[in-house]
Amino acid sequence: MLALATIRRILMDLGHALQPEAPGTLVGPLELWMHQPRPELDGLSPLQVLTGADGEARVRGCLLDLVARPFGPRATE
């Protein structure tokens, strides 16, 4: 639960409150997203990364990149 609250807070800080669960958003269902390995997090899930010393900053960077994309995931994903 703490990880979910942290990710929601980061999204709110980035101006994307409540959008992860909205249909058609780029982030997708938040709980699913936080458990999936991400290439930009060295193949770890955001949940795994949050346990590290710099985890919140790394997840923030990942979310910032994700919500800044105008047309969905990169072709390399």
Residue 58: count of CB within 10 angstroms of its CB: 19
Query: What is the number of domains present in the chain?
Result: 1
**Domain containing residue 58:** 2-68
| Residue 75 covered by a domain | no
Does the pTM exceed 0.75?
Answer: no
Structure tokens that stand for 31 in this block: 């709980």
Please indicate, yes or no, if residue 73 is contained in any of the structural domains. no
Looking at residue 24, its pLDDT comes to 56
Q: Which helix (H) or strand (E) holds 60?
A: helix 55-68
Q: Residues 23-74: pLDDT tens digits?
A: 555 445 677 778 889 998 999 999 999 998 899 999 999 888 877 776 545 5
Amino acid at 37: P
Q: Do 20 and 62 form a contact (C-beta atoms < 8 A)? A: no
